[in-house]
Every structure is written in structure tokens, then in C-alpha cells.
Chains A and B, each alone.
Chain A
Amino acid sequence: DQQVKQNSPSLSVQEGRISILNCDYTNSMFDYFLWYKKYPAEGPTFLISISSIKDKNEDGRFTVFLNKSAKHLSLHIVPSQPGDSAVYFCAASARGRDDKIIFGKGTRLHILP
């Protein structure tokens, strides 16, 4: 049973435009959500996170939106740059319990010139 779902395996976006990556979750115990960027044969790199008490968090070109009622979050990257091409993982955690992070399957983002 997949608790964190990223239904789009890949996404292509023109350079300079907005990239929107989506994520859904099923476990209502999750109260902390994260986005990671990953290249092959490397560990994931933390991008941005959001607590369930917020609905938006922004850091530079990255903004994460959380819709708790829909159990949905999204990562917006604007403007998209060539260096943003990578696999993006959505992840969730129930902090204060065991702090395990559950990852989605990832979305491969291609930024087109």
C-alpha cells in the first residue's frame, strides 16, 4: 500500500516556465512533508519542507503548497532552469513518533531549452 503517491513519472517543462510537481498521500497521521531532488547514484538533496499547520512555504524559486483536506501537496519551481532537471521525490513523515520518512516513487523533471 503506497502511502505517498507521485502519479506522474515524468514531466517536461520549457526553461523559464513554471514546473509543478504533484504528490498525494493517504496516511492522515503524516504531519510533515518534504521535497527532495536526486541525481542517479547520489543521495537525495533536501529542497523544501512544510508542516501540516501551514498551507504554503516558499524558499527562493521553490514553493510548496499543502491541501490537507485533499491530502495533496505540490512543488512549484519558477522560473525553471536547466539545472533543475533531476528526479524529485515527495516524502512525508509523522514527526514526534518515529520520524520515519516515507518516499513517493519520484517524478523525473526535464527542463527543455
Chain B
Amino acid sequence: GAVVSQHPSWVICKSGTSVKIECRSLDFQATTMFWYRQFPKQSLMLMATSNEGSKATYEQGVEKDKFLINHASLTLSTLTVTSAHPEDSSFYICSATAPNTDNQPQHFGDGTRLSIL
């Protein structure tokens, strides 16, 4: 149980386009989801906390107009990278808080590799 799915797993697009990444909790309802970003050989950096039905909470230094987060249902959160540029190329990972999993507060998706040309 507690499976989190991300789509797409890999996307390549031209500079200036917007890219949407989906994060779904497949077998549980997630009131809270998190979005992380990982550069090569770096740590997972928390970008924002996504709460169902309300605005996301962004970490310091993360542009909310650049990285739009929508958590419209209890099983889906989306991250849209607007007007993407090569420096936005990174590995994006989402996670969700599942109920009754005290030892593991967040369940992670498999990530999305974003490459901007």
C-alpha cells in the first residue's frame, strides 16, 4: 500500500515552454503532498508543501510564479514549471503523507527527469 505515482518519468522540451508534472496517490488519500528538486549529486531540496484545497507553501528562494502547484483533489497534485529554461533542468520528486504509516511519514514517487533544451 501507499503507492505514489509520478508522470511523466522523463520529459524533454524546448526553452520557453511550460511543463506539467503529476503526482498521484494511488491507494490512499493525501491531504498533504510535497515537491522536491534534486540536482546531480546533490541533496533533495524541498520546494513546497501542497495542501489539498488551499495554496501551496513555498520554501524560501522558490519562485511561486515559476513553479505553480495545484492540489485540487486528495489524490492529485501537479507541479507546472512555467516558461522553463535550461537552468530548470533537474530531477523533480513528489511525496505524499499517508495515514497509518507512523514509521514512514512520506511516501515518494519515482521522480520526473526534466531536460530543457
Contacts and interface: CB of A to CB of B under 8 A. Distances in A.
Interface of A: 32, 34, 41-46, 49, 89, 93, 95, 98-106
Given A89-B43, A100-B34, A101-B34, A95 B110 contact: no
State the majority secondary structure of interface residues on B.
strand
A70 to B, nearest CB: 22
Interface stretch (B64-72, B78-86, B98-106): B98-106
Classify chain B: how many residues form its interface, as a range: 20 to 34
B104 A101 contact: no
Contacts of B107: 46
Name the residue among B49, B93, B105 with the largest chain A CB count within 10 angstroms: B105
B49 A43 contact: no
Contact of B105 (A32, A89, A102): A32
B102 to A, nearest CB: 9
B105 A95 contact: yes
B82 to A, nearest CB: 24
A41 B95 CA distance: 15
Contact of B42 (A93, A95, A101, A105): A105
A46 to B, nearest CB: 5
